[in-house]
Structure 1
Amino acid sequence: MSPLKILVVDDEQDVKSLFEQRFRREIRSGSVFFTFAFSGEEALKYMEAHGSEVVLILSDINMPGMSGIELLKHIRVEHPSPHPQVMMVTAYGDEQTYQQAMQFGANDFLTKPLDFSQLKEKLTTLL
């Protein structure tokens, strides 16, 4: 079975070590493979080269430069089929932010701090 390839997009550098720590067992077993981009622009460059491999994108919404919502719009236009699942992640769980993310094609919406048990549960449907 090939690993679930996940692109995590967040301007916070420590998110990489956090995901690697929380998903240590899954990474070791080869069931998931993470790639990290620290800006929307970096994520788009990665998607240009590896878009067909990425099954899921976990993107922060509030980032300097290109926001997660802007990234979502690009992904939905530039990678139409099969387009990856996109889960938006934000510290702002307000209704307006949620509605905006869903309007532009987000598959799910998670609030920070991330509940990794909940995230792992959601990922089992993609494995």
Structure 2
Amino acid sequence: MNILVVDDEQDMQLLFEQRFRKEIREKQMRFAFANSGEEALAYMREHHHEAVLILSDINMPGMSGLDLLQHIKQKYDSPPPVVMMVTAYGDEENYNQAMTLGANDFLTKPLDFALLKDKLNLQLHD
């Protein structure tokens, strides 16, 4: 499964590579990283439909994760990638807006990596 992680926090790539070391080594999951919504869209243009799952932070400078979600769900309709939103602010407004825009899931920071692995494994076997 190819996963695109979109987050402006620089340490997220290292964190994912550590937490998913076994899955990466066994080639169950492959991660790509973008530091902004704009970078994520550029990646998706260059690697058309390689990312089957997108894990995006909501609060980023420039294009927010919600703007990115809206763009992805409008533009990529065959098939739309699964998009999970991540935020440090698990408030009802962000949750409702994300779900209205078509998010497949909503997670809060700090990430519970055991829960995330379970959710990714469910997607993997869908």
Length-normalised TM-score, structure 1: 0.96
1:77 offset after TM fit, Å? 1.3
Which string of whole-angstrom CA distances, capped at 9 and with x for unpartnered residues, describes residues 59-108 of structure 1? 00000000000000110111111010000000000111100000001000
1:105 and 1:118 map into 2 onto residues whose CA distance is 21
1:49 offset after TM fit, Å? 1.5
> Within the alignment, does 1:124 sit opposite 2:115 as a pair?
no
Partner of 1:86: 83
Within 5 Å, give how 1:1-127 maps onto structure 2.
4-127=1-124
2:85 maps to a residue whose letter is M
Which string of whole-angstrom CA distances, capped at 9 and with x for unpartnered residues, describes residues 9-43 of structure 1? 00011000000000000000000000000000000
Structure 2: give runs of 5+ residues left out of the alignment: none
2:15 and 2:48 map into 1 onto residues whose CA distance is 24
TM superposition outliers: structure 1 runs of 4+ over 6 Å:
none
1:119 and 1:62 map into 2 onto residues whose CA distance is 19
1:51 offset after TM fit, Å? 3.0
1:100 and 1:51 map into 2 onto residues whose CA distance is 26
1:99 maps to a residue whose letter is N
1:53 offset after TM fit, Å? 1.3
2:116 and 2:12 map into 1 onto residues whose CA distance is 14
Structure 1: give runs of 5+ residues left out of the alignment: none
2:48 and 2:123 map into 1 onto residues whose CA distance is 17
2:91 maps to a residue whose letter is D
**Partner-residue secondary structure (3-state), 1:119:** helix
Number of aligned residues? 124
Length-normalised TM-score, structure 2: 0.97
1:108 maps to a residue whose letter is D
